[in-house]
Amino acid sequence: MTIIIEQPQFDAAAERKVAGDPAELVLDGGFTVPDSNAFGHTFRDYDAESERKKTVEEFYSVNHINQTYEFVQRMRDAYGRLDKTEMSIWECIELLNEFIDDSDPDLDMPQIEHLLQTAEAIRKDYPDEDWLHLTGLIHDLGKVLLHPSFGELPQWAVVGDTFPVGCAFDECNVHSKYFKENPDYHNPEFNTKFGAYSEGCGLDKVLMSWGHDDYMYLVAKENKTTLPSAGLFIIRYHSFYRKPLHKHGAYTHLMNEEDKENLKWLHVFNKYDLYSKSSIRIDVEEVKPYYMSLIDKYFPGKLRW
């Protein structure tokens, strides 16, 4: 997300800079990670004995078996046309009220709650980075793929941690044992370290497992958003970063220099994405005018989806 490198370790004190320009990185905005999630367990613990454990593991078993190189190509071709409907960003946000993410071990509330919690937590710590506030609000909008008007795709084709397809599946991916049943696992064209790719090719040349991340990236890009490249990178790879890339440095051999720079902003973003989840509700009508102003700044009124 070039040459194999060690996963960068970010020293918040050493790299804190003045905010204002997306190129100027502020790694520590002051956010404190809670001790436990909404269920009283450690965040992102896929093995914790909770009411969510069985649902989450069943999700990843189906996801890992079915996310093949051919499947991703087919989905990108079909949904990349953006011919399903036209609607505004906020209309899309309201559609997400109907869905709960089966892959998430930390929260079982409608998606609009997560979007606003993420955006508001970022806004508090990074008041001058309005592009990052908006990125927090819209990063999961691709989950509208679950809606009947978008084909009502199954959850395994929409949510969950993402990973490259077309090369060997890394064992540090969540519930990696299920990859052994994926047809690409036994395909010599795709089951080597580089597979269909080359060293340092850049993540934009790599097919990721299909889901809401890649779809929302396509929507934003093709509708000519003026978000900075770091915002688009966050939208496209926020579900890839969590375990393999951040914790284990997997797949860094596919990254180029631009990826490495944008990864620093993804590092900032993901603690808000992962750890701002709670049972505390946000007053939607109170914060809506602010986010509407950001939508108008960075997006057209109606988008093709």
Contact criterion met (CB below 8 Å) for 238 and 265 = no
64 assigned to a ligand binding site: no
Cβ–Cβ contacts within 10 Å for residue 224, how many?
A: 10
Query: Does 125 carry a binding-site annotation?
Result: no
Is 108 part of any known ligand binding site? no
Q: Is 140 annotated as a binding residue?
A: yes
Q: Tell me whether residue 41 is annotated as binding.
A: no
35 is in an annotated binding site: no
133 annotated binding-site participant: no
Quote the CA–CA distance of 185 and 191 in Å, as a whole number.
6
Instruction: Say whether 147 counts as a known binding-site residue.
Output: no
- The reply to whether 160 sits in an annotated binding site is yes
Tell whether residue 271 is among the known ligand binding residues. no
Q: Is 143 annotated as a binding residue?
A: yes
Annotated binding residue 186: no
Beta-carbon contacts of residue 277 (< 8 Å; ≥ 6 apart):
37, 38, 43, 104, 106, 107, 114, 117
User: Which amino acid is present at 52?
Assistant: R
273 marked as part of a ligand binding site: yes
Is 229 annotated to bind a ligand? Reply is no
Q: Which residue positions form the known binding site for substrate? A: 44, 101-103, 143, 160-161, 238-239
Q: Which residue positions form the known binding site? A: 44, 101-103, 114, 139-140, 143, 160-161, 212, 238-239, 273
Q: Which residue positions form the known binding site for Fe cation? A: 114, 139-140, 212, 238, 273
